[in-house]
């Protein structure tokens, strides 16, 4: 009988695999330099765009929007350059 009440032996075995297999536990999404650099660039762009919007600087708001798009494009570019998650 399973040590976990209310589940079958097969389900308990499946849970045991999921607990110990790193592919099930943590796929590693976002744990790379490419991800972190891209997210930081986009967060700075959003913060700057918000400040510029408050200060009524429309040109700088649009420049911030452009930097946001660059940040989104930066992630796959850096990942292909070798800064992405290794082994996926």
Domain region containing 10: 1-27
Q: How many domains does the chain have?
A: 2
Is 47 in the same domain as 18? Answer: no
Same domain, 10 and 35: no
Shared domain for 48 and 71, answered yes or no, is yes
Q: Are residues 41 and 78 in the same domain?
A: yes
Q: Examine the domain organization and report whether 9 and 51 are in the same domain.
A: no
The answer to whether the pTM exceeds 0.85 is no
Q: Are residues 76 and 36 in the same domain?
A: yes
Token output for 56: 């009524």
Q: From first to last of its 88 residues, what are the pLDDT tens digits of the chain? A: 446 566 677 766 666 655 555 555 555 566 788 889 999 999 999 999 999 999 999 999 999 999 999 999 999 999 899 888 775 5
In a domain, 75, yes or no: yes
Q: Which residues contact 41 (CB under 8 A, 6 or more apart)?
A: 67, 70, 71, 74
CA distance 30 to 22: 15
């Amino acid at each position: 009988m399973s040590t976990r009440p209310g589940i079958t032996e097969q389900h308990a075995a499946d849970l045991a695999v999921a607990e110990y297999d790193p592919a099930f536990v943590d796929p590693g999404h976002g744990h790379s330099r490419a991800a972190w650099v891209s997210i930081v660039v986009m967060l700075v762009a959003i913060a700057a765009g918000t400040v510029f919007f408050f200060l009524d600087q429309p040109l700088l708001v649009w420049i911030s929007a452009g930097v946001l798009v660059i940040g989104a494009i930066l992630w796959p570019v850096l990942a292909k350059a070798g800064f992405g998650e290794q082994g996926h």
